[in-house]
C-alpha cells in the first residue's frame, strides 16, 4: 500500500513524541517506521512510504491508542476544572445561606437568654 509522506506525517506524527519541521518529512517517516514497526518490511520512496496492509493497520491502531490517551487526559482536566468551579459556586452559595440564617435567627437566640 502506497502512502504519501506528508499525509502520513500529519496523521502519525503523534507516534513520535516530538514536533518536526515540515521539511524533514523523510527523516520523520524513517523515525516513525523505525520506532513503531521496528525491523518490519517497509520501504521509503522519494515521496511515498510503502507498507503492507498489516503494518498500515498497526500504525492506525497505534495512532488511535495514542490519540485516545491524549483525549482522556484533556477530558480529565476539563471535567476537574468544571466540577471544581461548580463546587466553589455551591460553597459560596452555602456561605450566603448560612450568613442570612445567622442574621435572621441570632436575635431570637439572644432574646431568649
Tens-place pLDDT, residues 2-33: 555 555 666 666 666 655 665 566 777 777 77
Q: Provide the CATH number for the domain around residue 88.
A: 1.20.5
Q: What angle do CA 30, 35, 40 make, to 5 degrees?
A: 80
Q: For position 29, what pLDDT does the model report?
A: 74
- Domain of residue 34: give its range: 2-112
Number of structural domains found in the chain = 1
Q: For position 78, what pLDDT does the model report?
A: 98
Q: For position 97, what pLDDT does the model report?
A: 96
Residue 61 has pLDDT above 60, yes or no: yes
**Summary mean pLDDT of the chain:** 79
Those residues with Cβ within 8 angstroms of residue 83's Cβ, 6 or more apart along the chain or in another chain: none
* Of 51, 68, 69, 65, the residue nearest 7 (C-alpha): 51
Amino acid at each position: 500500500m502506497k502512502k504519501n509522506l506528508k499525509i502520513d506525517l500529519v496523521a502519525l506524527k503523534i507516534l513520535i513524541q516530538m514536533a518536526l519541521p515540515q521539511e524533514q518529512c523523510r527523516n520523520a517517516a524513517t523515525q516513525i517506521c523505525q520506532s513503531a514497526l521496528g525491523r518490519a518490511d517497509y520501504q521509503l520512496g522519494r515521496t511515498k512510504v510503502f507498507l503492507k496492509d498489516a503494518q498500515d493497520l498497526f500504525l492506525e491502531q497505534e495512532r488511535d491508542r495514542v490519540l485516545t490517551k491524549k483525549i482522556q487526559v484533556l477530558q480529565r482536566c476539563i471535567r476537574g476544572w468544571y466540577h471544581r468551579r461548580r463546587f466553589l459556586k455551591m460553597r459560596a452559595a452555602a456561605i450566603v445561606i448560612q450568613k442570612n440564617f445567622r442574621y435572621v435567627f441570632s436575635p431570637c437566640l439572644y432574646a431568649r437568654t
